[in-house]
């Protein structure tokens, strides 16, 4: 399980906290999950995210800007085949304000540091997102 931490983004704008009681916050984050699924054409449904959070397969960190909901990051620890060191996966990240889009990355860095995890990974079909925030480690292609 990932650490239950809270903090403030480096610009001092968004306060974030780990949310252990998913049932109370899920109605708030669900529209963001639905938007991610629709935009990225993801194969899962919001209930899959809910189940992962309730069962401990993922952890939720929610951000607030001046006391108002600002977004969330759903993170999970995982391992690549034949790699002994765990990685932190940014499964979902959503920001109400697009200018704060990297919020999830900043939260993931804090969680990884607290958990002793050295690498953070994510996958996104959104143009420009990976180039702006990450180095490519591998590419998958689906055969037609």
Note the pTM of the prediction, 2 decimals. 0.88
Tens of pLDDT, residues 20-70: 999 999 999 999 999 999 998 999 999 999 999 999 999 999 999 999 999
Quickly list DSSP for 16-52. Answer: EEE---HHHHHHHHHHHHHHHHHHHT-S--HHHHHHH
Q: Is the pLDDT of residue 131 over 80?
A: no
For residues 37 and 31, what is the distance between their CA atoms, to the nearest angstrom? 10
Radius of gyration over alpha carbons of the chain, in Å?
A: 15
- Considering the chain, what percentage of its residues have pLDDT values greater than 70? 85
For residues 26 and 37, what is the distance between their CA atoms, to the nearest angstrom? 15
76 near 89, Cβ under 8 Å? yes
For residues 141 and 53, what is the distance between their CA atoms, to the nearest angstrom? 29
* 3-state DSSP assignment of residue 56: coil
> What is 6-133's CATH topology?
Aminopeptidase (3.40.630)
Tokens of 11: 């610009």
């Amino acid at each position: 399980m990932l650490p239950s931490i809270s903090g403030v983004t480096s610009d001092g704008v968004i306060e974030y906290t780990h949310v252990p009681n998913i049932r109370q916050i899920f109605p708030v984050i669900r529209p963001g999950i639905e938007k991610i699924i629709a935009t990225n054409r993801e194969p899962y449904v919001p209930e899959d995210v809910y189940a992962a959070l309730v069962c401990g397969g993922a952890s939720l960190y929610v951000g607030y800007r001046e006391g108002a909901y600002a977004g969330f990051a759903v993170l999970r620890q995982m391992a690549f085949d034949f790699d002994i060191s765990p990685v932190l996966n940014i499964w979902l990240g959503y920001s109400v304000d697009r200018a704060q889009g990297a919020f999830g990355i900043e939260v993931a860095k804090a969680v990884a540091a607290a958990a002793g995890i050295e690498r953070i990974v994510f996958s996104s079909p959104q143009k420009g997102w990976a180039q702006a925030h990450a180095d490519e480690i591998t590419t998958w292609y689906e055969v037609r």
